[in-house]
Structure 1
Amino acid sequence: MDRHWAGTAKRLVVRFLLVAGVALGLPVALSVPAAGDPSPDTWAKLRMCESTDRYTVNTGNGYYGAYQFDLPTWRSVGGTGRPDQATRAEQDYRALYLYRMRGWQPWECAGMLGLVNDRDARSKVKPSYSDSAYISGSKPAPAKPVKPAWPGVVYAYGDCAPELRAFQLRMNAFGYGFQGTGCYYEKTRKAVLELQRANGINDSGRLGPKTWKAAWSGKAPR
């Protein structure tokens, strides 16, 4: 992670072998970015370099867990406690969250491995836990949600429509917890305003075409 100049002994060995392999002309497998989020294999190679794939590692150097988060970086993506004390799923989720905020830049090992940012890097789209579930498993990276066509109606407080239900359920990916009533009341208005402000849209509180598009392809409102 950032400013991590003194890695563990095992981490240094991994780096030495990578550099030596290149110098000797030996084949060194470098990850190829996936079409969406990085593949499970790419994450596994990053973890192996950062921590020898140990989720509970704490060597006392201020960097913790499989992805070697320092505490300020961990907290910047919503982590609580210490990374090495978090579950695998939680560490995977925060790593994907960080990747979507900053790409591979925070990880020194990413440069060593030749990892390249793909289209989700720095997208600022906050992932859901289902988005990151593939990282430690055998599932492929999840496909991007398909944005429904703009319904052609500007919705406002008091409106009810099936399209509003689709919007509400989409906003659950950002942690809003809608039940999908399809009715536009205070909670929906709050989500619309936060989405508009995050994406530089006039915060009218009305759900128009720009706000609709931002729900599926814009910046996370939180």
Structure 2
Amino acid sequence: MNEPRAGFAKRLVVRFLLIAAVALGLPVALSGTAGADPSADAWAKLRMCESTNRYTVNTGNGYYGAYQFDLPTWHSVGGAGRPDQATRAEQDNRALYLYRMRGWQPWECAGMLGLSNDRDARSKVKPSYSESAYISGGGATPAKPAKPIKPTWPGVVYAYGDCAPELRTFQLRMNAFGYGFEGTGCYYDKTRRAVLDLQRANGINDSGRLGPKTWNAAWNGKAPR
């Protein structure tokens, strides 16, 4: 059957625009589905930095679960209740949805780990549970803990009274040794005790200042307890 002239003309226009866009190097969206997401390894690094890979963590600082959602952000991607009370599969799915809405921007640790957005960042495509299942296996059985990934040394020596996002990362790392930090990011008595314990366990001058050797020991040194 011959195609109506109007339909044929429309197809020619569409083809012309696509060819022109490609020739000019412009992005062309061919479908409404996502095509690439961060690797499971990238998610594991993020979880280790944010929560030491603990899906049920609730330290009372207003951030919950493996991806340290606050409640407004959790609810903005369709989460119900609190993140730390949700299943691993649910937290993984909401984290992927947040990534597709805003890229790595919501997570401070992503910048510290050098994670970069791919073409699905901010695609706005809501993921199915099957799409997010790869992140940590998606089941109810706890995943094997990921090997701790040491974030890049921030280049600042921290001392009593300092507050910084990097101090929060250090505090959350020290929770792996049973310190129970809330992740305030502020260096006071409890942080100083952890720093001194770590320095003494690793033969570092116990100055109480969080410098590069102590930072490295938190991930690669001897346990302070």
Normalising by structure 1, report the TM-score. Answer: 0.46
**The structure with more radius of gyration:** 2
